[in-house]
Structure 1
Amino acid sequence: MWKQAQSLFAGEQEEEEDEELQENFLEDTDNLCSLSPTQRLYGFAACSLAGLVCMFLSMIVFAIPIKFAMLFTFGNLLAVGSTTFLMGATRQLQMMFDPVRLYATTIYIGFVLLALICGLWIHDKLLTLLAILCEICALIWYSLSYIPFARAMVSKVTIRLFDTEI
């Protein structure tokens, strides 16, 4: 009976210790995310460079749709994710799903998934290439949403050149 009482009391102590550990862990992770501006630039540059290398290597293995789709899409996501070093993950997600960019983000993610489906399940080189081209166009359109008036300017240029609007 005495051992049961001790185990109950010890259980309460362990719960309190677990709560303290969780609080300390959360505080420690906040400190892990506080990078200096130089470290953020290095992270951004390294992630961008890794993304570009993956995209370049994907062109070498274009004959194999699975490797091509995986490398290109992974490189593309690394390049887009590199901006997380500059602004933080929460801010990045808020900006991606901002009403101004919601359609561009959704279309971009849709084409990323489509490229992976074409490369991994369908195994069709032409469809994979088409999906990758659409993914690149969607990424450009998404990227232009970060530059003030860039999408409006591109729309005006396409109207004049091709007599159509994007």
Structure 2
Amino acid sequence: MDKLRRVLSGREDNEELGLTAQVLDASTLSYSTRVKWFVICFAAGILCSILGTALLFLPNGLKLFAVFYTLGNVAALASTCFLMGPLKQLKRMFEPTRLIATIVMLLCLVLTLCSVFWWEKKGLAIIFCILQFLAMTWYSISYIPFARDAVIKCFTTCLS
């Protein structure tokens, strides 16, 4: 109980804070465990996205599509937390190079669900799903060195 009071009051010493940071960074998991859970979570994300696409053509399928597609993107995004830990993942998501892509991606995740359930605008939901895909792609390639530059150069060459 005394330890809990120290933690809550902020009087915990540096050694214990280091242990807390390790737990939050997922470093207590072995490398093979982190890779396994990354694969499981990423595969679940892909499965949800594919399932959502398959359900698109059912009656009321757009709602199911939006939910499963959004869940798939969230699961794929969360899968990287197993590799680098949630705190490091959040720090890297909001670095200046990824900030706009992260904000657009998170905003589109929410707006997709809002457009389907509250506003009931099917066209808007599809637009937000497309924007989700584009923002998630742009965010993902930001982790590959020079990939964004290559994509920009490719598009400018194709358009000119």
TM normalised by structure 1 equals 0.78
- Structure 2 counterpart SS, 1:158: helix
Shift of 1:75: 0.9
**Which gives a bigger RCO, structure 1 or 2 (Cα 8 Å, sep 6+)?**
2
Shift of 1:68: 1.7
Partner of 1:106: 103
Q: Which amino acid aligns with 1:107?
A: V
Correspondence 1:9-158 to 2 at 5 A: 16=2, 19=5, 33=26, 34-62=28-56, 63-158=60-155
- When Rg is computed on C-alpha atoms for both structures, the one with the higher figure is 1
Q: Deviations over 1:14-53 (max 9, x none)?
A: x647537978xx8689569411000001000000011111
Matches of 1:155 and 1:67, distance apart in 2: 34
Matches of 1:18 and 1:103, distance apart in 2: 38
Aligned residues: 148
Q: Which amino acid aligns with 1:47?
A: C
Gap change, CA 1:107 and 1:130, over 3 Å in 2: same
**Structure 2 residue runs without a partner (length 5+):** none
Matches of 1:124 and 1:47, distance apart in 2: 30
Gap change, CA 1:57 and 1:115, over 3 Å in 2: same
CA-atom RMSD in angstroms:
2.5
Q: Which amino acid aligns with 2:158?
A: L
